[in-house]
């Protein structure tokens, strides 16, 4: 069979690297999804509900900031060492959370986990760009997506089992063991690289600006003061843009030089990722609470309704992974357009109680990502010069996570302005459902614009060589 042959070709001489990458993706996905399920048990066990929201925000801050410098670290110290170190740090963060005597200590542990998870995922993207030729990239990304789909299904079950047994700390012991396995495997499977001739300085200024931007946006998501949140979100977005502008002037920045400019293919690709992720995040953040109120679903049932997004993403990604070149850019535009259509549909149906329409919207949302994500990632990687390969590929996940932080902050302000934070009523659920997705719709439409620009710029660029080597922009 052709499909079987293509997968055998992909894995030939690379199966160890492939397995390591999938383990890294599993660690990030499962750590995030399982932990979300056990958080009510953590809050009940540790108290300190004033810090409850920071358990998620701390993780997100670490995820974005660490992911942003993953490419630089792999260039500076070599992929083998930093990949193994990230596994050890993740294990340490899991142990800190497992042993936490208070919610504040738990937040510290989750922040360390976020830092390590940002590095793990970023280093996995760097490894993908180094190990797999262009023709295999869509299948590798589709496989990575399937890991997220599995984690989405298993996360609530695993987390629920530990919570029901009164042993939420056991979740983190389990992940600590898996993280150490990742560290040992990295030392065994990743070849040692020669150190760079002239190591670049750490891009301190853009990294500090990025950190402050994410902190402000995350703070907007946990504060009960709506007026303060309205200040924090635009301030965070302004600092994020300032970080990009400052990064352009760095000798070796967080992004490739072309990646910080919206009139390039790289810049358009990153912008499409940022905007699409920001537009979609409200569905997973606020969807479960809305569905529990409007449809009387349990937390687990609502979680599985939201999981249709991940399942559709996985299914569509696997279906289109072997698409011929002529279809790839059509899928990019069509996929991002589906995300915009799904967002527009959610504006009207999220609070309607019509579960079938919500499922359709969620499937369209996931299907749009499944249709476009792998191919946009491929375009990024094949557009990178050899010197920018580590930084540019490592930035993919960091840009998406930054989009998630921005989208979550915008959605939280929209929700809190309607009184969502003070308790759910038919009136504020309907209003919040409308405004959460109405504010997301311009972001989704912007993603369409950037996707179209990406396709046009890639079409005008030099075609890829037959061996899948990089092409310029």
pLDDT at 4: 67
Structure tokens at 399: 């840009």
DSSP state, residue 253: -
Mean per-residue pLDDT, 20-40: 86
Measured distance CA(244)–CA(255) in Å, rounded: 8
Residue 208, both tokens? 């500090």
Average confidence (pLDDT) over 332-349: 95
Q: What does the pLDDT read at residue 471?
A: 40
**Residue pLDDT, tens place only, 288-322:** 888 888 888 887 788 888 889 989 998 999 899 88
Cβ–Cβ under 8 Å, residues 243 and 210: yes
Specify the pLDDT at position 473: 34
pLDDT higher than 60, residue 466: no
Tell me the helices (H) and strands (E) count for the chain, helix number first.
18, 0
Span 353-392, pLDDT tens digits: 899 999 999 999 999 999 999 899 989 988 888 788 888 8
Kindly state the average pLDDT of the residues 68-73.
87
Other Cβ atoms less than 10 A from the Cβ of 191: the count is 9
**Window from 109-113, 215-219, 458-462 with minimum mean pLDDT:** 458-462
How confident is the model over 87-110, as pLDDT tens digits? 999 999 999 999 999 989 999 999
Give the mean pLDDT of the chain: 87
Mean pLDDT of 442-453: 96
- Residue 1 in this model has a pLDDT that exceeds 60: no
Confidence of residue 258 (pLDDT cuts 50, 70, 90): confident
**Share of residues in the chain with pLDDT > 70 (%):** 93
Q: Quote the tokens at residue 108.
A: 């510290």
Give residue 49's pLDDT.
61
CA distance 415 to 226: 10
Out of 3.40.50, 1.25.40, 1.20.1250, 1.10.3470, the CATH code matching 201-251+253-462 is: 1.20.1250
Q: What is the pLDDT of residue 465?
A: 44
CA distance 401 to 67: 8
| 2 or 53, higher pLDDT | 53
Provide mean pLDDT across the span 235-242: 94
DSSP state letter for 353: -
Q: How far apart are CA 123 and CA 62, in angstroms?
A: 15
pLDDT digits (tens, 9 = 90+) for 417-432: 887 767 777 888 888 8
Which of 39, 298, 28 has its CA nearest to residue 150? Answer: 28
| Rounded Cα distance, 244 and 210, in Å | 8
Q: What is the pLDDT of residues 183-195, one digit of tens each?
A: 999 998 887 766 5
- What value does the mean pLDDT take over residues 319-341? 91
One fold for 14-197 and 201-251+253-462 = yes
Average pLDDT of the segment spanning 277-294? 89
pLDDT for the residue numbered 173: 95
Cβ neighbour number for residue 285 with a 10 Å cutoff: 19
| pLDDT for the residue numbered 2 | 44
Q: Token pair of 33, please? A: 């999804």
The answer to whether 103 touches 47, Cβ cutoff 8 Å, is yes
Which CATH number applies to 14-197: 3.40.50.720, 3.30.565.10, 1.20.1560.10, 1.20.1250.20? 1.20.1250.20
pLDDT confidence of residue 463: 53
Residue 472, pLDDT above cutoff 60? no
Domain segments of the chain as ranges: 14-197, 201-251+253-462
φ, ψ for residue 239, nearest 5 deg: -70, -35
In whole angstroms, what is the distance from residue 436 CA to residue 350 CA? Answer: 10
Beta carbons within 10 angstroms of residue 245's beta carbon: 11
What pLDDT does residue 52 have? 66
Which pLDDT score is estimated for 30?
87
């Amino acid at each position: 069979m052709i499909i079987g042959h293509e997968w055998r070709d992909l894995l030939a001489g690379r199966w160890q690297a492939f397995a390591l990458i999938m383990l890294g993706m599993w660690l990030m996905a499962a750590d995030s999804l399982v932990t979300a399920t056990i958080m009510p048990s953590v809050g009940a066990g540790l108290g300190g509900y004033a810090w409850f929201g920071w358990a998620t925000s701390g993780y997100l801050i670490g995820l974005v900031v660490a992911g942003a410098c993953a490419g630089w670290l792999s260039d500076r110290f070599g992929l083998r060492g930093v990949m193994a170190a990230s596994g050890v740090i993740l294990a340490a963060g899991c142990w800190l959370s497992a042993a936490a005597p208070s919610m504040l200590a738990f937040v510290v542990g989750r922040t360390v986990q976020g830092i390590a998870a940002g590095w793990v995922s970023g280093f996995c993207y760097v490894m993908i760009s180094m190990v797999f030729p262009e023709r295999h990239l869509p299948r590798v990304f589709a496989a990575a997506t399937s890991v997220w789909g599995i984690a989405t299904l298993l996360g609530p079950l695993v987390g629920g089992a530990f919570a029901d047994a009164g042993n939420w700390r056991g979740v983190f012991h389990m992940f600590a063991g898996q993280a150490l396995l990742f560290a040992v495997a990295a030392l065994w499977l990743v070849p040692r690289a020669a150190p760079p001739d002239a190591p670049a300085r750490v891009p301190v200024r853009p990294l500090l600006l990025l950190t402050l931007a994410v902190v402000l946006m995350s703070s907007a998501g946990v504060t009960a003061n709506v007026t303060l949140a309205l200040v924090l979100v635009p301030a965070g977005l302004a600092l994020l843009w300032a970080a990009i502008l400052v990064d352009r002037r760095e000798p070796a920045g967080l992004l490739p030089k072309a990646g910080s400019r919206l009139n390039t293919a790289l810049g358009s690709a990153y912008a499409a990722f940022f905007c699409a992720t920001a537009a979609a995040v409200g569905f997973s953040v606020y969807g479960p609470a809305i569905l529990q109120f409007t449809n009387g679903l349990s937390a687990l049932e609502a979680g599985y309704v939201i999981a249709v997004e991940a399942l559709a993403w996985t299914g569509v990604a696997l279906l289109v992974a072997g698409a011929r070149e002529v279809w790839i850019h059509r899928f990019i535009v069509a996929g991002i357009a589906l995300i915009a259509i799904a967002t527009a549909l959610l504006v009207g149906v999220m609070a309607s109680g019509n579960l079938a329409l919500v499922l359709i919207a969620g499937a369209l949302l996931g299907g749009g990502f499944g249709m476009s994500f792998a191919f946009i990632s491929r375009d990024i990687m094949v557009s990178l010069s050899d010197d920018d390969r580590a930084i540019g590929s490592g930035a993919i996940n960091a840009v998406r996570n930054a989009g998630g932080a921005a989208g979550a902050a915008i959605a939280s302000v929209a929700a809190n302005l309607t009184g969502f934070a003070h308790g759910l009523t038919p009136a504020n659920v309907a209003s919040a459902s409308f405004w959460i997705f109405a504010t997301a719709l311009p972001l989704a439409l912007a993603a369409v614009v950037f996707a179209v620009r990406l396709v046009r710029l890639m079409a005008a660029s030099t075609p890829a060589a037959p061996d899948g080597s990089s092409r310029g922009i």
